[in-house]
Structure formats: C-alpha cells, structure tokens
Amino acid sequence: MTRPYLTPSQSSPTDAATGLRIGGDWTLAHYSHLEPQVLALRERLAAETPVDLGELAALDTAGAALLLELLGSARLRQLAQQAELSAQRRALLLAVADAMAGSRQTQPPPAPSVLREVLGHIGEVVEGLWHQGRALLGFMGLTLASMLAIALRPTRWRLTSLAANLEQCGLNAVPIVALLTFLVGAVVAFLGATILAEFGASIYTVNLVAYSFLREFGVLLTAILMAGRTASAFTAQIGSMKANEEIDAIRTLGLSPVELLVLPRVFAMLIALPILTFIAMLSGMFGGALVCALSLDISPTMYLSILHDSDLLRHFLVGLLKAPIFAFLIALIGCLEGFKVSGSAQSVGEHTTSAVVQSIFVVILLDALAALFLMEMGW
C-alpha cells in the first residue's frame, strides 16, 4: 500500500502555481489524512496550475470525490482524458465528475415570499373547505337515499340501536342542557334588568328573556352542546370501528354501514334535539323568572301574565323549527368524520376535533343566516 501524497512539483510547498504532483493510494482508508490537505490547498490552487496524475497507485470513489473537490468537475474531466491512467481509473474519474456535476447543477428552489406563502395557505384552506362541502353533500344524499329505502320496510328499522342512541344523546343530555340554559337565562335577565333600569323599563326584562330563548338561545345553546357532546361521540365510535376494521367486516357481511350505523344516530338526533330545545327554552325562562323575582320584585304570577299577553307562539315556532335542521347536520358531520378516520388513534382524535369544530361552525353560520332572512321577511 502506497501512502498518498499531494505535493508541489518544486521545493516551495506554498507555491502551488509551479505545479502539483498527486500520487499514492487515494482510497477511503486515507480519506481522513487527505481531506485537510485538499481543503487547505483548494483555495490557493489556480486554474492554470499544472497537475500530474500519472503517479496515482490506487483509486476508489472516496479518492475520486476528493480529487473532484480539489480540482473541480471540468478540470478533473480534462485531466482524466490527458493523463496516462488506466481505463478503469479514467472511467471512475469521469463517472464521479459527471455525477457530481449533475448534482451541483440542481439548484435549490428560491424561497417563496411571505405574500406567496400566505396566499398559498389561503388557497389550501379554501380548497379544503370545498372538498369538505362536497363530501358533506354527497354523504347527505347517501343518507337521504338510505332513509327512503327503509321508510316502507319496518323490518329493517334498527329500533334497539335507535333507543340506545336516543338515551345517549337525548336523555343523558337533559341535566347539562337544563343547567346551562338556566344559568344563561339568569345572566340574560340580570344584564337586561341592569340596562333597562336606566330607562325605567325593567318590566321588559321578561320579554327580553322570553324572546331571546324562544327564538335564538334555546336552540342555539342546545345545538352547540350537542355538537360538542354528541357529534364527537359519533365520530369516536365510528372512527374506532373504522380503525379496528369492523366497518370492513360489516361490508363483507353484505350489510350497509350507513343503514346500520348512521341512520339510528341521525333519527335519534332528530328526535332528541327538538325535545332538548323545548327543555332549554323552559329552563332559560325559569332562570329569568328567578332573577326577576329576586331582583325586580316581579312575582311568578306577574311573570306568567306578561308572557301570556305577549305574542310568543311565532318566536317559539321559529326556534323549534331550526332544531331538526341543526340535528340532521350535526349527526351527519359526526358520522362523516368517523368514516374519514384512517386507522390510527391520532386520526381518531384529529377527526373528533374536526367534527366538533365543523358542527359548531355550521350551526352558528346557519343560525346567523336564518336570523337575517327572518328579520328581512318580518317573521
């Protein structure tokens, strides 16, 4: 084994312009010895400096890479053609020079501007919303078609599953819905009394509480609670089944996952949410009545008399008619996100969060649009 060397052709080791002799074994075993010399000489080596490769003893790709680092791709290719080298070494030098030249020609893409990144992110979000909207509409059509398919076939109704889901999303939700709306009703009555007292119109606190809960707060608070409580449960249940390949097993048995898993949950929500909305309306007005009795000296009898004299039926129907629409969309979003689960626990968590966010967003958006429309129509 010949120790590699990298020396000037004349006596002065710093005068690289007089010529450079390269010889010995340029292999991986001597890489650590050669690399510091190559890095030190590379900056001082002029383009016109004569280089002699005739004394090379052994050469591998590591040594060829060092020569490339020292001489450059074009210079190394030129020397390989002119030097008295064997065919194998010449081929190796040319192959390394060509490969490294090709890799160095690939420039990294320029960094995008901040404005381009912001616009690109906005475009991705809009495209994602578009795809989610299309998926929701398609799933809605599939669910409605399945409803029509079993409407006249009572033997295909899943009454046991319907009862279980009705207990979960309806009966078990009564305490939290009643408590929350009671507290919100008390807060609304207290704030209304505080503001209206400045105008000597404290008596209209009763109308404020009644109108707000019958028309907006009752159905909106209930729908938001069900979106956070029930839509997430639907997603987690169906997503876990998807992760465990139970849905694939259902399809293998020739059963429809939509008919077996989605329809009982949708029907349960359609039944439960209007009932819970009615309970929320009563609880909210009861909370307002308690504040009126304690702070405004409005007795329960006077409270009921004011409610009786008010035109509340129209507001009650407006609020109650929103409930089935919200229930249908909340159940659809929860089930759809469950079917989107890819198979991991992380995916279950991500789609559960997405179901809650989408459900609350859709409920508030539709409620705002409905409020604007009904206000313009005078209803």
HEC profile for 49-114? CCEEEEEEEEECHHHHHHHHHHHCHHHHHHHHHHCCCCHHHHHHHHHHHHHHHHHHHCCCCCCCCH
Q: Band the pLDDT of 314: cuts 50, 70, 90.
A: confident
Please indicate, yes or no, whether residues 200 and 284 belong to a single structural domain of this protein.
yes
Please indicate, yes or no, whether residues 200 and 312 belong to a single structural domain of this protein.
yes
The answer to whether 150 touches 169, Cβ cutoff 8 Å, is no
- What pLDDT was estimated at residue 344? 78
Assigned domain for 22 exists: yes
Residue finishing a domain among 105, 140, 157 = 105
Please indicate, yes or no, whether residues 162 and 30 belong to a single structural domain of this protein.
no
Assigned domain for 256 exists: yes
Please give the residue that has the higher pLDDT: either 201 or 185: 185
Longest dimension (CA), the chain: 117
Assigned domain for 110 exists: no
Assigned domain for 113 exists: no
Please indicate, yes or no, whether residues 240 and 347 belong to a single structural domain of this protein.
yes
Assigned domain for 154 exists: yes
Question: Which token pair is 186?
Answer: 């008390």
Distance CA 63, CA 57 (A): 11
Residue finishing a domain among 105, 135, 164 = 105
* CA angle, residues 305, 308, 311, in degrees to nearest 5: 140
Ordered strands of the 5-8 beta sheet: 5-8, 20-26, 51-59
Please give the residue that has the higher pLDDT: either 350 or 37: 350
- What pLDDT was estimated at residue 42? 73
Which residues lie closer than 8 Å to 314 by C-beta, 6 or more apart?
Answer: 379
The answer to whether 158 touches 258, Cβ cutoff 8 Å, is no
Q: Band the pLDDT of 8: cuts 50, 70, 90.
A: low
Assigned domain for 211 exists: yes
Calculate the average pLDDT of the chain: 84
Closest CA to 137 of 148, 145, 126: 145
Q: What is the mean pLDDT of residues 211-218?
A: 90
Q: Band the pLDDT of 15: cuts 50, 70, 90.
A: very low
Q: Which of 71-75, 151-155, 229-233 has the lowest mean pLDDT?
A: 71-75
Please indicate, yes or no, whether residues 86 and 133 belong to a single structural domain of this protein.
no
* CA angle, residues 265, 270, 271, in degrees to nearest 5: 100
- What pLDDT was estimated at residue 114? 83
Query: Which domain, by its residues, includes 320?
Result: 121-377
Please indicate, yes or no, whether residues 81 and 132 belong to a single structural domain of this protein.
no
Q: Which of 60-74, 102-116, 208-222, 330-344 has the lowest mean pLDDT?
A: 102-116
Please indicate, yes or no, whether residues 157 and 296 belong to a single structural domain of this protein.
yes
Distance CA 296, CA 302 (A): 11
Please indicate, yes or no, whether residues 187 and 75 belong to a single structural domain of this protein.
no
- What pLDDT was estimated at residue 11? 42
Distance CA 266, CA 327 (A): 8
Give, rounded to a whole angstrom, the gap between the first and last alpha carbons of the chain. 99
Which residues lie closer than 8 Å to 271 by C-beta, 6 or more apart?
Answer: 166, 170
Neighbours of 195 (CB within 10 A): 13
- What pLDDT was estimated at residue 331? 93
Please indicate, yes or no, whether residues 151 and 276 belong to a single structural domain of this protein.
yes
* pTM metric for this prediction: 0.68
- What pLDDT was estimated at residue 82? 66
Concatenated DSSP letters of 122-179: HHHHHHHHHHHHHHHHHHHHHHHHHHHHHHT-GGG--HHHHHHHHHHHTGGGHHHHHH
The domain total for the chain is 2
Asked if pLDDT for residue 105 goes beyond 60, the answer is no
Q: What is the mean pLDDT of residues 22-38?
A: 78
Which uninterrupted H or E stretch holds 319? Answer: helix 313-339
Asked if pLDDT for residue 14 goes beyond 80, the answer is no
Closest CA to 72 of 55, 51, 56, 91: 51
Half-sphere exposure of 296 (CA within 13 A, CB side): 27
Q: What is the mean pLDDT of residues 342-355?
A: 85
- What pLDDT was estimated at residue 6? 66
Please indicate, yes or no, whether residues 163 and 57 belong to a single structural domain of this protein.
no
- What pLDDT was estimated at residue 16? 43
Which uninterrupted H or E stretch holds 320? Answer: helix 313-339
